[in-house]
């Protein structure tokens, strides 16, 4: 099993290219199931989660080719041979449930395993199902699988208001509604850039969609969708993560392909700490050349609020900010598992339920730490950039799910970082 070794090495300088969005690509890939014509995605990230979705689509009979070093995905679902998404694949990644809506809409039936570790009602998979029921789907849960069947003649338009905002449920319902007969109105939907990106791709395939990026999306169903080529939107979470690198240890870095509209609330908080963010014709430049970091309070929220997927990384920054910061996690429970590892590095963090109180210290100290999840793993790497001595981050297989070439990108701007075999 690999580890990543980071040694504090002073300010960073240079540029980092930002990849296509993992969360967007994982949603765009199942869209191929809606059509018998080819769908090609460019600017695809090269990640283990993308490979998992590839295996899932291939298990259904779809063709998926990885071209140009993995940055282009050429897909075709002209000859699907099954409507069943098996547990052995789905359990590896929650995004696998996104094949449910497309399969049901195009084929009229689908059997999809519940994602691993998920209980209906405890996490919002039930929202996916309720939205599909609003389009006439008949659903039955048996032995860990969702058995879904469309009414005679296919799904039909309906109206559904999500009781809470859910990105995945919005995506599943949006895809299914493109082939439903009549008009579907989805209310209180997610507004994330990944939703807008999915709508753009579906429109390129011939879907009739209005309102993406707002809280209400209206879809007029069409008879069939055709093929298309679509560029995956920039990964705003990778963008925010690498923006924190010069913020946490000083210097100036340009993030190629970044834009403020993807991470507006995050930029606002970063600037409150005393870090400078400015736009260029190539992306965003982040610099911290003088002055101490100031403590700020952060509350995670659905887009356009502060992203939950940047909370762990922001905590790493605030560990050395002057004063006390409060981080309130409103999206997911149990998302402070990185805090004990940061404490091992000398951080002062007190967690009570969904709130973490972070009191800044002068400097963190390198230590052996363990990654507990994807975002926690990169938060520990960021902390190591600013720590005194050597930090060894173990269980970095989490990292491969969401960040490509971390060592190459950070070492390219002057970080002392390497990946080693244990």
Q: Hey, which residues are catalytic here?
A: 118
Contacts of residue 304, defined as CB under 8 A and 6 or more positions apart, other chains included, come to 191, 264, 265
191 labelled binding-site residue: no
Judged by DSSP in three states, 175 sits in: helix
127 labelled binding-site residue: yes
Output DSSP code: residue 72: E
According to DSSP, the residues that pair with 393 across neighbouring strands are: 4, 369
Output DSSP code: residue 5: E
Phi/psi at 154 (nearest 5 deg)?
100, 175
Measure the CA–CA gap between 249 and 133, rounded to whole angstroms: 50
Contacts of residue 23, defined as CB under 8 A and 6 or more positions apart, other chains included, come to 95, 167, 192, 194, 235, 237
297 labelled binding-site residue: no
363 labelled binding-site residue: no
Contacts of residue 152, defined as CB under 8 A and 6 or more positions apart, other chains included, come to none
CB of 178 closer than 8 Å to CB of 222: yes
Judged by DSSP in three states, 90 sits in: helix
Judged by DSSP in three states, 381 sits in: helix
Measure the CA–CA gap between 133 and 420, rounded to whole angstroms: 49
340 labelled binding-site residue: no
Measure the CA–CA gap between 111 and 11, rounded to whole angstroms: 52
Which residue has tokens 């099993």? 1
285 labelled binding-site residue: no
22 labelled binding-site residue: yes
Measure the CA–CA gap between 73 and 63, rounded to whole angstroms: 10
23 labelled binding-site residue: yes
Measure the CA–CA gap between 40 and 50, rounded to whole angstroms: 14
Provide DSSP, 306-360: B-GGGHHHHHHHHTTSBSEEEEE--S-SS--TTHHHHHHTT-EEEEETTEEEEE-
Which residues carry a binding-site annotation for UDP-N-acetyl-alpha-D-glucosamine?
94, 123-127, 309, 331
Which residues carry a binding-site annotation for phosphoenolpyruvate?
22-23
Which residues carry a binding-site annotation?
22-23, 94, 123-127, 309, 331
């Amino acid at each position: 099993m690999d580890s990543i070794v980071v040694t504090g090495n002073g300010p960073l300088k240079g540029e980092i290219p930002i990849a296509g969005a993992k969360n967007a690509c994982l949603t765009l890939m199942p869209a191929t199931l809606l059509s018998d014509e080819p769908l090609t995605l460019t600017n695809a990230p090269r990640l283990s989660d993308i490979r998992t979705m590839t295996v899932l689509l291939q298990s259904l009979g779809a063709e998926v080719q990885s071209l140009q070093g993995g940055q282009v995905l050429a897909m075709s679902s002209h000859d699907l041979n099954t409507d069943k998404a098996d547990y052995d694949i789905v359990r590896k990644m929650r995004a696998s449930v996104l094949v449910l809506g497309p399969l049901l809409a195009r084929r009229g039936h689908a059997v999809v395993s519940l994602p691993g570790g998920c209980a209906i009602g405890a996490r919002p998979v039930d929202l996916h199902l309720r939205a599909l029921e609003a389009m006439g789907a008949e659903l039955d849960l048996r032995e860990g699988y969702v058995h879904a069947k469309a009414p005679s003649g296919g799904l039909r338009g309906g109206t559904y208001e999500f009781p809470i905002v859910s990105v995945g449920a919005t995506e599943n319902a949006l895809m299914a509604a493109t082939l439903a007969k009549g008009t579907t109105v989805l209310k209180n939907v997610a507004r994330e850039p990944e939703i807008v990106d999915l709508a753009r791709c579906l429109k390129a395939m011939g879907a009739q969609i209005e309102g993406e990026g707002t809280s209400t999306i209206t879809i007029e169903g069409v008879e069939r969708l055709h093929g298309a080529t679509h560029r995956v939107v920039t990964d705003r979470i990778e963008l925010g993560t690498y923006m924190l690198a010069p913020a946490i240890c000083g210097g100036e870095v340009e993030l190629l392909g970044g834009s403020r509209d993807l991470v507006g609330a995050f930029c606002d908080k970063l600037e409150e700490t005393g870090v400078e963010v400015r736009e260029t014709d190539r992306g965003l430049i982040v610099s911290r050349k003088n002055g101490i970091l100031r403590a700020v309070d952060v509350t995670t929220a659905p887009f356009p609020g502060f992203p939950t997927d940047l909370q762990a990384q922001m905590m790493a920054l605030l560990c050395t900010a002057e004063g006390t910061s409060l981080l309130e996690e409103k999206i997911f429970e149990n998302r402070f598992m990185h805090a004990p590892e940061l404490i091992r590095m000398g951080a002062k963090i007190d967690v009570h339920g969904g709130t973490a109180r972070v009191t800044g210290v002068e400097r963190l100290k390198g230590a052996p730490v363990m990654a507990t999840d994807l975002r926690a793993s990169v938060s520990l790497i960021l902390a190591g950039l600013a720590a005194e001595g050597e930090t060894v981050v173990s269980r970095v297989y989490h990292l491969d799910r969401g960040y490509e070439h971390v060592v190459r990108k950070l070492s390219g701007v002057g970080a002392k970082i390497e990946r080693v075999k244990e």
